[in-house]
C-alpha cells in the first residue's frame, strides 16, 4: 500500500484499559505475536453499537480474565486518542482496512488479587504479564503507541 492509500483509511474504533493495582502499578502484557520485548496495556476493538465502557470491561475480561466485579472505573479519557500503525503493518492487520486505531481509555482500579488474573483465556493475547511502575510504561511499549500513552498518563495523572 502506498502512503496516500494508507492516509485515506479510517481508524479502527478501540478501547484501552489502564488497570492499576493498590500500589499504583499498571497491568501490562507481552503480546503473543511479538518477537521482541514490548509490553502493552489491555485494548481491543469496539463492536458495532457497543458502548465504549462495556467494550472496555469486555476486553479486560477477554484478555486478562479480570471480571467487572473486580474493578472500579475511576476515569475515562476525555477524547479518543489516535495512533498510526507503521506502514509495513497496515496491510497485515485487520485485512488492511485501517491506518491505526482511535482509542477511548479507561482507568480502572483492580480490587482483586493476582491469582484472579488469568491470561490463559479462550483466545489468549499475552504470553506474560506483570505489574509495572507507571514511570516505566513509556520505555517499555512499542514506539508507535508512545504518544497515546503519554497523553493518557498526563490525563490520568491525578488518579495515579
Residues in the chain: 160
CB 111 within 8 A of CB 72: yes
Q: pTM for the complete prediction?
A: 0.94
Q: For the chain, give me the number of helices (H) and strands (E)?
A: 4, 8
CA 49 from chain center: how many Å?
20
What is the structure's pLDDT at 92?
Answer: 87
Q: How confident is the model at residue 113 (pLDDT cuts 50, 70, 90)?
A: very high
| 112 DSSP assignment | S
Q: What is d(CA 73, CA 53) in angstroms, rounded to the nearest whole number?
A: 9
Amino acid at each position: 500500500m502506498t502512503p496516500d492509500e494508507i492516509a485515506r483509511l479510517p481508524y479502527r474504533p478501540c478501547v484501552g484499559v489502564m488497570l492499576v493495582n493498590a500500589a499504583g502499578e499498571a497491568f501490562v502484557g507481552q503480546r503473543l505475536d511479538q518477537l521482541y520485548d514490548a509490553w502493552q496495556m489491555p485494548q481491543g476493538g469496539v463492536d458495532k453499537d457497543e458502548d465504549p465502557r462495556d467494550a472496555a470491561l469486555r476486553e479486560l475480561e477477554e484478555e486478562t480474565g479480570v471480571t467487572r466485579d473486580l474493578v472500579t472505573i475511576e476515569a475515562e479519557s476525555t477524547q479518543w486518542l489516535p495512533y498510526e500503525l507503521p506502514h509495513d503493518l497496515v496491510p497485515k492487520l485487520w485485512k488492511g482496512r485501517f491506518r491505526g486505531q482511535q482509542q477511548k481509555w479507561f482507568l480502572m482500579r483492580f480490587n482483586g488479587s493476582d491469582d484472579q488474573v488469568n491470561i490463559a483465556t479462550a483466545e489468549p493475547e499475552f504470553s506474560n504479564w506483570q505489574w509495572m511502575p507507571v514511570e516505566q510504561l513509556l520505555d517499555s511499549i512499542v514506539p508507535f503507541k508512545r504518544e497515546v500513552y503519554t497523553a493518557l498518563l498526563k490525563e490520568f495523572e491525578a488518579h495515579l
